[in-house]
Amino acid sequence: MLVQTEINEIDNILNINSNGLIIAFSNSNEEKKNFVSNIVSNMVIKHNTSVAVLNSSIGFRGFINACIGKQYESIDKTIYKDVLKEFKNRIKSIANSNLLVNFASSYNLNELIEKCKYVKTNKNVKLIVIDKIDTIIDFKDTQTEIFSKLKELSTTLNVCILCVC
For residue 150, name the pLDDT band (cuts at 50, 70, 90): very high
113-144, pLDDT tens digit by residue? 999 999 999 888 888 998 888 877 777 788 88
Give the mean model confidence (pLDDT) for residues 2-13. 64
Q: Would you say 90 and 45 are in contact if contact means Cβ atoms under 8 Å apart?
A: yes
84 or 50: which leads in pLDDT: 50
Q: What is the pLDDT of residue 4?
A: 62
End-to-end CA distance of the chain: give it in Å, rounded: 23
Q: What is the pLDDT of residue 152?
A: 95
For residue 157, name the pLDDT band (cuts at 50, 70, 90): very high
Q: What is the CATH number of domain 8-164?
A: 3.40.50.300
Residue 95 has pLDDT above 70, yes or no: no
Q: Edge-to-edge, what's the strand order for the sheet holding 127-131? A: 20-24, 160-164, 127-131, 51-54, 99-102
Residue 16 has pLDDT above 80, yes or no: no
For the chain, the C-alpha Rg in angstroms (whole number) is 16
Residue 1 has pLDDT above 60, yes or no: no
What is the b/e burial string over 32-54, where b = at least 16 CB atoms within 10 angstroms of the residue's CB? bbbbbbbbbbbbbbeeebbbbbb
Distance CA 67, CA 54 (A): 15
31-48, pLDDT tens digit by residue? 887 788 888 877 877 777
How far, rounded to the nearest angstrom, does the alpha carbon of residue 131 sit from its chain's CA centroid? 8
Burial class (CB in 10 A: 0-12, 13-18, 19+), 23: middle
55-89, pLDDT tens digit by residue? 766 666 777 777 777 766 766 666 666 766 766 77
Query: Alpha carbon of 72 to those of 16, 50, 53, 107, 152: distances in Å?
Result: 26, 21, 21, 33, 36
165 or 16: which leads in pLDDT: 165
Q: What is the pLDDT of residue 42?
A: 79
For residue 105, name the pLDDT band (cuts at 50, 70, 90): low
Distance CA 12, CA 26 (A): 19
Q: Would you say 99 and 66 are in contact if contact means Cβ atoms under 8 Å apart?
A: no
